[in-house]
Structure 1
Amino acid sequence: MSTDPSGGLGRARSASGNHAFVTLVTNADYAMGARALLQSLRQTGTKADLVVLHTGGVDGARLAPLEALGARLVACDHLPLSDAFNQRHARGALHGAAPFAKGRKPLFHSPLDNFCKLRLWQLTDYERVIFLDADTIVLRPIDRFFAYPEFCAAPNVYQSLADFHRLNSGVFVAAPSEDTFAAMLARLDVPDAFWQRTDQTFLQAFFPEWHGLPVTMNMLQYVWFALPDLWDWQSISVLHYQYEKPWERDHPKAKQLKPLIDLWHRVYRGEPIGDLSALPQSGSSSTDMGQDKAAVS
């Protein structure tokens, strides 16, 4: 198995600065999510590069709208992992061994794809990057977090306060380094390694002294109904649609999460985020934002 950190990334236009927001697109669905994410970042007025790592699972037609939004497209290969590792972390094997009990992952979610985000450590033309999953949107400027150290992530809070001891890898601050990437490859695929929540479990093990970002930097959508006292539109910087995705039609939590889904569709269409204080509050009986979900393509 190769552990050469210099390969695996395609050519792309040059970086325009020292900082970048990075996301990962592995199929057409996540290309749709990334489009909304890039729209939201543009609304914050950021001057940082917007980088989309993408695998061969998404075609050029789906990437074109992202490039039109100013994204720097960087093709990436899957990591050079052993057959045994891939078998243990294939969707059926992984979800069978460690099923999700609180929500449903969509069928287009492939656990092995998650490890591709480790390739952002190869983006050494940047001093600091902020990674954002393609199922997030940014509600207010977050460029100040480029000054934070490696490795920063928010806790995986969406059910109870006991979750504060686990990180969520949907948003994190990192410092690209070929040495770090090589060390990750050396540790990732050891005999019988099983990373229960893929990159999330691995990153917490690799960075055991991880620094905590505020929970508002990665507000998981289930907080809306599970921990409503934590929900404050005026303080949320990044909204993360974990489990079910807002572009899925009639997903199991669609009624409960309607205000959040309607917001995502507005952002996807390129409409202003607007006054967050005007949005329904968590626990409110009103779930109508006056916006119907539009068809997306």
Structure 2
Amino acid sequence: MSMDVAKRAFVTFLAGNGDYIKGVVGLAKGLRKANTRYPLVVVVLPDVPDDHRRILRSQGCIVREIEPVYPPENQTKFVRAYFVINYSKLRIWEFEEYEKMIYLDADIQVFDNIDHLFDLPNGYFYAVMDCFCDKSVWSNSPQNKIGYCQQRPEKVKWPAGMGSPPPLYFNAGMFVFEPNLVTYSNLLEALKVTTPTTFAEQDFLNMFFKDVYKPIPNVYNLLLAMLWLHPENVEIDKVQVVHYSAEPIPNVYNLLLAMLWLHPENVEIDKVKVVHYSAEGAKPWRYTGQEQNMEREEIKMFVKKWWDIYEDESLDFDNSTKKIV
């Protein structure tokens, strides 16, 4: 293994004994299909069961157990209750044996090789800009209340009476970073004096890295909601990573699926490299066709693309791996 390969890795995060193990297996197989040169490190909390760890190792993953990190005690109501555990992601800055890493949420799929992101200049935090148009997620934000979105800032101008426009805000489901113990220590010190907010570690990382944040295109983290919120911003044929979250590095590098309907003008769907299955009803392994957004043709298409990879036994690191029931 050459030095640059040994010093670079993808990393994801897993907690508990739930079904996100399927997402990580799918991600490992997606990276393999994209012919990445670099390994996938899976950071697990102590509550991840041994059988799940065995499955991950059989898929060629490097499994690293960490202890959880918690925010200061407070009365904050997170958008989703489990967000509190996501502060544990901060421990990935401890992994100094790697010079550069790309973090990917477990509900993300990679559809094209993104190894070139490791070659981005050092000293910055790279991620895809988020979208504030989904009222089910962002209704309490000042951006959503006035109809302002950084994906299309020319559509609704930021009112002068509200002061300067807010700093660019990224989605933390996919980002490029450099592990560093000094940075890790500074993160923990800042966490002690920072009141948690509704989007937990994502808000915190945006605050901490605001001065060194560099946007990358939507194709590197397609939030599926972008397909209906901002289809004008999505070149779907260029999408390389899909974030099955639904909620510029351009959108092609982390297509939040909600972008497909919130900002379709920003989505070149044939160029998307990374898709984030974060939207309501977008998790492929939970798809029933009966819940919110599941009737959307874009969701059906990307769910099928995910399952095509997940069920492809030729992509198994160890072909004796048994399917997860």
Q: Name the TM-score class by shorter chain.
A: 0.7 to 0.9
- DSSP-derived class of the 2:186 partner: helix
Higher alpha-carbon deviation: 171-180 or 27-36: 27-36
Counterpart pick for 1:117 among 66, 72, 89: 89
Q: Check the 8 A contact 1:31/1:58 in 2, yes or no.
A: no
CA distance in 2, matches of 1:270, 1:197: 35
Counterpart pick for 1:53 among 43, 47, 59: 43
User: Where do residues 109-258 of structure 1 align in structure 2 (5 Å cutoff)?
Assistant: 110-148=82-120, 149=122, 150-157=124-131, 159=133, 162-164=149-151, 165-190=168-193, 193-209=195-211, 210-231=213-234, 232-233=236-237, 234-244=270-280, 245-250=283-288, 251-256=291-296, 257-258=299-300
Amino acid at match of 1:23: T
- DSSP-derived class of the 1:205 partner: helix
Question: Residues 42-93 of structure 1: CA distance to partner in whole angstroms, max 9, x if unpaired?
Answer: 11111212100011232111222221111100001111544x14xx35xxx3
Higher alpha-carbon deviation: 178-187 or 112-121: 112-121
Structure 1 position 16, deviation (Å):
6.7
Question: Residues 227-264 of structure 1: CA distance to partner in whole angstroms, max 9, x if unpaired?
Answer: 22333223111010113322114332212111111111
User: Could you list the runs of 5+ residues in structure 2 that have no partner in the other structure?
Assistant: 134-146, 152-167, 238-269, 316-322
Aligned residues: 243
Counterpart pick for 1:24 among 13, 16, 20: 13
CA distance in 1, matches of 2:222, 2:190: 30
CA distance in 2, matches of 1:258, 1:140: 19
Aligned-residue identity in percent: 26
Q: Check the 8 A contact 1:158/1:227 in 2, yes or no.
A: no
Q: In the alignment, what sits opposite 1:260?
A: 302
TM-score (norm 1): 0.75
Q: Check the 8 A contact 2:5/2:37 in 1, yes or no.
A: no
Q: Check the 8 A contact 1:26/1:54 in 2, yes or no.
A: yes
Structure 1 position 18, deviation (Å):
0.5
Q: Check the 8 A contact 1:158/1:220 in 2, yes or no.
A: no
- DSSP-derived class of the 2:227 partner: helix
Q: Quickly say closer, same or farther: Cα 1:68–1:31, change in 2 above 3 A.
A: same
Between the two structures, name the one with larger relative contact order (CA 8 Å, sep ≥ 6): 1
CA distance in 2, matches of 1:80, 1:254: 34
Question: Residues 178-213 of structure 1: CA distance to partner in whole angstroms, max 9, x if unpaired?
Answer: 11001000001226x022211111111001120111
RMSD (Å) for aligned C-alpha atoms: 2.4
Q: Check the 8 A contact 2:69/2:85 in 1, yes or no.
A: no
CA distance in 1, matches of 2:9, 2:311: 24
Amino acid at match of 2:53: L
CA distance in 1, matches of 2:60, 2:226: 32
Amino acid at match of 2:197: W
CA distance in 1, matches of 2:284, 2:324: 11
User: Where do residues 37-116 of structure 1 align in structure 2 (5 Å cutoff)?
Assistant: 37-79=27-69, 81-82=71-72, 84-85=73-74, 88-89=75-76, 93-95=77-79, 110-116=82-88
Amino acid at match of 2:224: Q
Q: Quickly say closer, same or farther: Cα 1:163–1:248, change in 2 above 3 A.
A: farther
Amino acid at match of 2:37: K
CA distance in 2, matches of 1:271, 1:152: 33
Q: In the alignment, what sits opposite 2:240?
A: none
Q: Check the 8 A contact 1:246/1:264 in 2, yes or no.
A: yes
